[in-house]
Structure 1
Amino acid sequence: MPQQHAPVPEVELAVSLAAEAKLAEPGCPCPAAVGFHGLGQKLLFQAERRYAELDGRRLVLRPETTRGLPAQGFTAMTFFGDWPASAWAQLREDDSWDSGDTQGALYRWEKDHWRRVKATEADEQYGPWYRGDGSIGAIVHSFGGGYSAQSVILPLDPQSKAPVPRLARRADGGQRLFVLASTSLPTGHLFVLGNDSQNPRRDIPCVERFSPGAETGTLEALPLPPQPPPRLEWRSLAARSPNDAYVAGVLADPPEHMGPTVSYLAHFDGTTWSLLDVPAGLWGPEVSVAEDGTLWILNDTPDANPALSVAFSSQLLRRAPSGDWAQVRLRTPSGPVGADVIISHVFVHGSVVWFAGFTKAQRDRVLVWTTAPMDAMLTIPP
């Protein structure tokens, strides 16, 4: 039976400072107006309405990359697809970090500019559905109340005749999963995480898996430890291959961790889901997996001084392919990154890991680090 780890050893990770951005409004640990976007080999870093592209060993502001996008009133929720043949962007109507329920629009890149395709509804969030044949579709979630009871998978090419997956249904025709997250692989495999709505008296976390070209998926309940707290919260999903997928979360007594909590991590090996050892004390974990199988978990931790304007800190955990855990501290050539820095994003792009964060004292100043060597640091003005 997997165990809850005691405190894990600390290690330092050598990183380069890649960028510094000044925000027009203060950041937070999960600012939707700050983040990384992967478009195949292309990497973008977003700071509100400004976008920097990775060019060799430096980030460079490239206004032409965003030609056709609104200059005011909209920020990106996501970019997805493959640059430049099939690149898509979903924007929303304002840049407040808590504005996921505002309306926006879907755009497609065409030769040298973004073309507006359609308006998107409130609470509607697009994500990629890679079809395995080089084409791309979308999985569209309507996140109301923290989950999506109406998620739709659709082709983005209206001429496409290929089969389109459909999520499992209940006997009354409603969607069986209350969807929390999804991830799609270039191979055409799709993982969808949620709670089984067929049993409304108990939260049963499940994953529905789709193979390339399949219209129906395989719905599987995730394993749970003996006598767990009743709800799996703060779930996060990541996959490196069809045989290497992860779900991280916290088993807790609702509401919002007011009762006892148990850290949770499950792994899919291509055949079955199984529980893994995981450090105790997870609070709001976000999981990422690198090309070599290294697992990264970004964890929010409550602050000892709740009187501060930011009453939490961040913890960066790394699980090596061997299964060994470590708590990671970033170190630049000029010295270690201070303990007052809150890491808000971890993004894996190829074999390189990117981090973004800010200090408690300067929430409007975002810093970007990377495990790749960089020739220069980019300064992004507000």
Structure 2
Amino acid sequence: MSDKQENGTAPVANVDDAAGFMAAARAFRQQKEAEAAAAAAAAPSDGFGDQFDAVDGQDAAFGGQADAFDGQNGAFNGQADALGSLNGAVNGQSAFDPCVDDFCPEAKQTDVDVKPQKDDLLEPAEEPIQPAPEAPGAPSTAPSAGQDEDREHKTTFKSWGAPEVRDKPAARVRRVILKGLPSSWRVPAKVLSLVHGGAVENIHISAAGNATVHFCEPEACKAFYDLYPNGIFLDREKGLSVFVEIGNDVDVASSQLLHNLSIGASRVVRAVGVSENISMGQLHKISTSSNRKVERILDDYVVAEWARNVRTVHFRFCSIDDAVRFRGMITRDPDWEHCNVQYAVDPCEVATGVHD
């Protein structure tokens, strides 16, 4: 028996010998059990059970580690050989370069994560940008408040612009209604003989015996209505009369009517120098064509020293529009090119009472 066996210690076993290794493990276990028993006798009685259980767990784990030690020993020898070759390579590189990777003290730097302070996160306040001053003599391209922009050839524009000022007055009532006309008075010639005080735009007679007359001016309409509050007597002996009423709604003057009045048009067309070969029937046919309505036709002969039997014909229409279209037609007709065709004064405008 060797000295170590005499001293009570387990002999050193060869790791290549499995039997010797297991004997060493058992001896090591017995030594640990003896040491644990001595420690348990010296420790308080309360912790003895827990320490004994812990020693048993360590022994069981040591037995499993002893079985796996043989396999790990072979792998360790291979890793040791690889570590030796790696050491040689590092030593060779260090001979040429004293600073290898991060082993150089001068090249080693400490990475410190410097977080920005709260004050550093605040951006400096930007100063407001002031517009550049314009040159004293530079013209301004933006439209001023009093100058409207040109929107005729633009797809988009900044504003609708101020509306144009309307030079014409507001629309007012321009019509009167004659109600209760006898059957013998339901013709335009007799109804217009009752109207006076202003030029007439048009007249319409309904089948119920009501005639609607549109004046050209609202003042003439109001004056005519105020003149007959009790109606117009047609025949006092027979007790025939008509009632005069004014319209409830306003009558807007159309642009066509305003244009016709601006050129002096009326519902009466006068033709001077009409050929004597044209009969009254032909005059009536010409004037009533194209659904034009005629009040009456007056044919006059004027005898003068400077001319013989100058024939003048007055065409009185029921509306200014029919008169304008008729005049435009005969002025382009070769048979009427020798005639002087003009507008005449409306008899209702110059009359002050019942007239022909």
Please tell me the TM-score bracket, short chain as reference: under 0.3
- Give the structure with the higher percent strand: 1
- Give the structure with the higher percent helix: 2
Higher relative contact order (CA 8 A, sep 6+): 1
